[in-house]
Structure 1
Amino acid sequence: MFTKGSGKFDTLDVVRPGGRIERMDCPKQGIIPHDMVHYAVEHTLKQRGFLGRVKEGEAAGFHMEAEAQSDAVERLVEVFQGDAWSGGTTAAAEMMALYAVTCSARACPALPIEAKEIEAVRTAIEALTMQWQAVKVGHSLTLEL
């Protein structure tokens, strides 16, 4: 559950079975929260990244042990985040090339990704952006994993 804050942070509450909540601050970045971009990537592409690991029981925090698949998802999230900061219009081929370079620079195996998947994630990010913009300060947007 993402809650829109009035200051420099929004929050992400992970509601565990039984009702236990883990809360993370999400620094505002002018677009949807970083972990909401994770949701768009992981949910759309059916890939296991940060949120998938949290769903499996890992603690919701900023530091997780390195793992090939979730590291690859993190690099892809960064590419989509950068695209969103620049207006969300980067050509799919350029995004795939940037993703390959980013993974190579960090010695991380890239996930196979095609232009149609780039567009599907971008569509998901656009939908989440519209939903998030409609959320008032102090209110929440709940997403199911």
Structure 2
Amino acid sequence: MKLVFTKGAGKTDLMEVVRVDQPSELVNCPKQGIIPHDMVHYAVEHTLNARGFLTRVKDGESAAFQMQGEVQSDAVERLVEVFQGDAWSGGNSAAFDLIEMYRVTCNARSCPMLDVDIAAISEVRDVIAELTEKWKAVPVGGLLELGFVHNASPA
């Protein structure tokens, strides 16, 4: 699967999901002052080989935002939220603090955590930093293409 992000001039960017033997799907991505939400999903799912929104789309589900809950994809969503919150705050919270925030968020939503440690947090942060630099370099109307190969099995 290929993800093609287009930087918009207004309040949204666009993600096109390109899969073999299926029509492309377009997803509006509200601008949030950092990389698009689904790009954070890419960083988490691709780096941790975890089954989340993008993996489910790759496996044939619609890119609509009305997916049924699934244990591992719910855990991925919570982790994506933690990384977004950290990015909005400057992206320099201690890795241990992110893990604790993730624990609190998962406990509040009765969601089991993914098995993440300080090294995993660091790896995802490195990917987010790389994507951030690439995204900053994209002009309005320009594209950033990401390949998404994933082998995580359903939870």
Q: TM-score normalized by structure 2?
A: 0.92
Say which SS state the counterpart of residue 143 (structure 1) adopts.
strand
CA distance in 1, matches of 2:46, 2:105: 22
What is the Cα deviation at residue 20 of structure 1?
1.8
What pairs up with 1:1-145 in 2 under 5 angstroms? 1-18=4-21, 20-145=23-148
- Structure 2: runs of 5+ lacking an equivalent: 149-155
Spell out, residue by residue over 1:103-134, the C-alpha distance to the aligned partner (whole angstroms, 9 max, x if none).
00001111111001101100000000000001
CA distance in 2, matches of 1:77, 1:27: 15
What is the Cα deviation at residue 17 of structure 1?
1.0
Q: Greater CA deviation, 75-84 or 18-27? A: 18-27
Q: TM-score normalized by structure 1?
A: 0.98
Q: Percent same amino acid at aligned positions? A: 61
* Number of residues of Structure 1 aligned to a counterpart in Structure 2: 145
User: Runs (4+) of structure 1 moved beyond 2 Å?
Assistant: none
Q: Greater CA deviation, 13-22 or 2-11? A: 13-22
- Structure 1: runs of 5+ lacking an equivalent: none
